[in-house]
Amino acid sequence: MKDATLARTGGQILVDQLVAQGVERVYCVPGESYLAALDALHDAKIAVTVCRQETGAAIMALTDGRLTGRAGVCFVTRGPGATNAAHGVHIAEHDSAPLVLFVGQVERSMRGRGAFQEMDYRAFFGSTAKWATEVEDPARLPEIVQRAFHTAMQGRPGPVVVSLPEDVLVETARVADAPRVEPAAIWPGQTQMAELQKLLWAAERPVVVFGGGGWNARAGAALTRFSERFDLPLIASFRRSSVVDNDHPNFAGELGLGVNPKLKARVEAADLALLIGGRMAETPSQSYTLFGVPEPRQALVHVHADAAEIGRVYHPRLGIVATPPAFCAALEGLQPPNAIAWSGETRAAREAYLGWSDQPPANPGGVQLGEIMMALRRLAPDATFANGAGNFAIWPGRFLRFRRFNQQLGPVSGSMGFGVPAAIAAKRADPGRIAIAFAGDGDFLMNGQEFATAVQYGLPVIVVVVDNGMYGTIRMHQEREYPGRVSATQLRNPDFAALALAYGGHGETIDETAQFAPAFARALASGKPSILHVKIDPEAIAPATTLTGIREAALRHRVGG
């Protein structure tokens, strides 16, 4: 921590402030607009990862934020850099991931003229970031940076954008560093907890749904203990399964895409839904049908860190403003009823989950994706699994078992291109653990260039590219809505294994299921970033669903209708 006696450039003040906040890593794509900050980073004990495109850099930073619980940090240049990074800001908003994005800006005296790459960041990011601001004076950098970290982490975590006019970073000022900020926990009130206890005691078919951001391993463990004492089924919201151990006998599955119909029916039939942290947004709510808008058919207890989320879509029987760790700690004070009426339901929910996730159906073609998922359960039980968006992601979401906190990294925003940078960030944060990215052929080429970043920094991530030669998800919808009229969904792909070699990594092509496990072992043994190019039959559009089946059903429906 430096005091006000020393004159420092804005760049130095900024970087010292990052050190004061405990930042260990930053992700960036350089720009001439923030050279003074890059220069200060030269001497700092902060690991800089230079990326190939700002979307990848922002995804790495927000993933770091999710993994560490502290705000991830990304630096990008003006207009083109900032707009490339905007995708990451959108993901961080929807994923409730703490992110501080520093963007370059033109010199103060030139603002408003439409100078080179000038943008109005407050306006541009105003609707997605929790806070978007511009630094006017280097002496205010400590104050603004500490507020940026606080805002990104407080309550519902999210993205903050800080614009840095070039001359602010060069000018000197005498100002003291601000101390490290910690977000304030938000505790539920005693009356609310008593009310919750009453509702639980009166319930016959209660369910617990957990989701949203701001969790940590301790909160997941406290939630698990609560579910044990009350023998409640634990249901994950979309892509939040790894808050708890999926091998736990109370875990009942995920409300995601391609949901288990039995799980959906169970939530619909519940008389009490305790929603912790999540928003029950479009995907987990199955297009807002599970609860009923605005009046849920279940008695809804909505626990969320952001008061504005409670009552935004659903009218709760009981609203509780609390962060997941504080609320789950408070759950320890509740007493279960003497006789628990719903234990049979909890066992049935578990059985239904196991039936849904343990026996993957066969698919057309020589590569069985279900068998590959089962192989990965054995080969990499402790790996971090990241994915982007596409039908390929249904397989790991349904058939893998997550047992460790944050083992599952996927964007609730359905953002293609998330998996590769997220896996790289996971490897950077925890080099001892296997990090696997699942990508589609379409998905991979959105941020696949970050594979070069993995090679550059010696981060041996394993990328499984599931190649069906198309934007399969969209083709699937196309066949449903416009059967037989294929438009803009076909792809001609490179040889992804050869691409891995060209980057300096390890690559293999998989045409048969049996090739997968040995190829995976060789990829691990290579110690290099790897791509396993898995070629699947285009008919294998989703578990137990073929493309032709969808087209024919749509055509029959047309004739019939």
Ligand X SMILES: Cc1ncc(C[n+]2csc(CCOP(=O)(O)OP(=O)(O)O)c2C)c(N)n1
Q: Which residues bind ligand X (CB under 6 A)?
A: 389-392, 414-417, 440-443, 446, 466, 468, 470-474
Instruction: Name which of Mg ion, ligand X, none residue 389 binds, using a CB cut-off of 5 to 8 Å depending on partner kind.
Output: ligand X
Task: Work out how close the CB of 413 gets to ligand X at its nearest, in angstroms, rounded to a whole number.
Answer: 8
| Among Mg ion, ligand X, none, residue 473 binds (CB under 5-8 Å by kind) | ligand X
The residues near 309 (Cβ < 8 Å, ≥ 6 apart) are 156, 279, 302
Report, in Å, the least distance between residue 528 CB and Mg ion. 25
DSSP symbols for 149-191:
HHHHHSSS--EEEEEEEHHHHHSEEE-PPPPPP-PPP-PPPHH
The residue among 440 and 529 lying less far from ligand X, judged by its C-beta, is 440
Q: Measured from the CB atom, is 210 or 438 closer to Mg ion?
A: 438
Tell me how far, at minimum, the Cβ of 442 lies from ligand X, in Å.
3
Task: Choose from ligand X, Mg ion, none: what does 443 bind? Cβ within 5-8 Å by kind.
Answer: ligand X
Beta bridge partners of 438: 387, 464
Q: Is 468 in the site for Mg ion (CB under 5 A)?
A: yes
Q: Are 82 and 164 in contact (CB under 8 A)?
A: no
Helical H segments across 113-259, by residue range: 121-125, 141-153, 166-170, 190-202, 217-230
Least CB distance to ligand X at residue 409 (A): 16
**540 binds Mg ion, rule: CB under 5 A:** no
Beta carbons of 65 and 72 less than 8 angstroms apart: yes
- Nearer to ligand X (CB atom), residue 214 or residue 360: 360
**Least distance in Å: CB of 417 to ligand X?**
6
155 binds, options Mg ion, ligand X, none, Cβ within 5 to 8 A by partner type: none
Cis peptide upstream of residue 183 (ω within 30 degrees of 0): no
Residue 474 CB, shortest distance to ligand X, in Å, is 5
| Binding flag, residue 104, Mg ion (CB under 5 A) | no
**Which of 472, 529, 538, 543 is in the footprint of Mg ion by CB under 5 A?**
472
256 token code pair: 């995601």
For the CB of residue 480, give the shortest distance to ligand X in the complex, in Å: 14
| H or E segment and range at residue 429 | helix 419-429
CA–CA separation, 169 vs 165, rounded Å?
A: 7
Shortest CA distance to 420 belongs to which of 378, 377, 463? Answer: 463
Give residues 424-443 in contact with Mg ion (rule: CB under 5 A). Answer: 440-442
With b meaning 16 or more CB within 10 Å and e meaning fewer, what string describes 310-331?
beebbebbbbbbbbbbbbbbbb
Q: Which partner, Mg ion, ligand X, none, binds residue 399 by CB below 5 to 8 Å per kind?
A: none
Q: Tokens at residue 397, please?
A: 């979401």
Q: Rule CB under 5 A: which residues touch Mg ion?
A: 440-442, 468, 472
